[in-house]
Amino acid sequence: MKKLSTYLFLILFSFQTSSWADDISDFEIEGMSIGDSLLDYMSETKINALKEPFNDEYIVSHEFYSVSIQGVKLKTYDEVHFYFKPDDKKFYAHSISGYIDFKNINDCLPNQIKF
């Protein structure tokens, strides 16, 4: 009887239902989403003028290029970074990040919960 209950236990818990996450393209920053083409927001000439290799404080990578979008069209963020592959002629987004510039920490902390 112990073996039967052990087998039943293993069988029941090995068939777990998986939960499906929503599509990543549902996530938007300033109306832009993963998989969108940067050409929907600016011309190829402007993209080529603004693009630069992805870099941060520690690495510089030529695997991705980024374009920083700033200006009056942005409602929530001061700057949006749009990342794409260098050989991609359609400039499809692989990553998008938003940046808000707060002058002091007291302005920043209440907004962390909002975003």
- Residue 7 CB neighbour total at 10 angstroms: 10
In this predicted model, what pLDDT tens digit does every residue of 28-50 receive, in sequence order?
888 888 899 999 988 999 988 88
pLDDT score of 105 = 84
Residue 39, both tokens: 């050409």
pLDDT score of 61 = 63
**Longest CA–CA separation in the chain, Å:** 74
pTM of the model as a whole: 0.64
Q: Could you tell me if 73 and 15 are in contact, meaning their C-beta atoms sit under 8 angstroms apart?
A: no
Chain centre distance of CA 107: 24
In this predicted model, what pLDDT tens digit does every residue of 48-89 receive, in sequence order?
888 887 766 555 667 888 888 887 678 888 898 888 888 889
pLDDT of 19 over the 50 cut? no
Residue 18, both tokens: 């998986």
Helix (H, G, I), strand (E, B) or coil at 22: coil
Q: What is the mean pLDDT of the chain?
A: 76
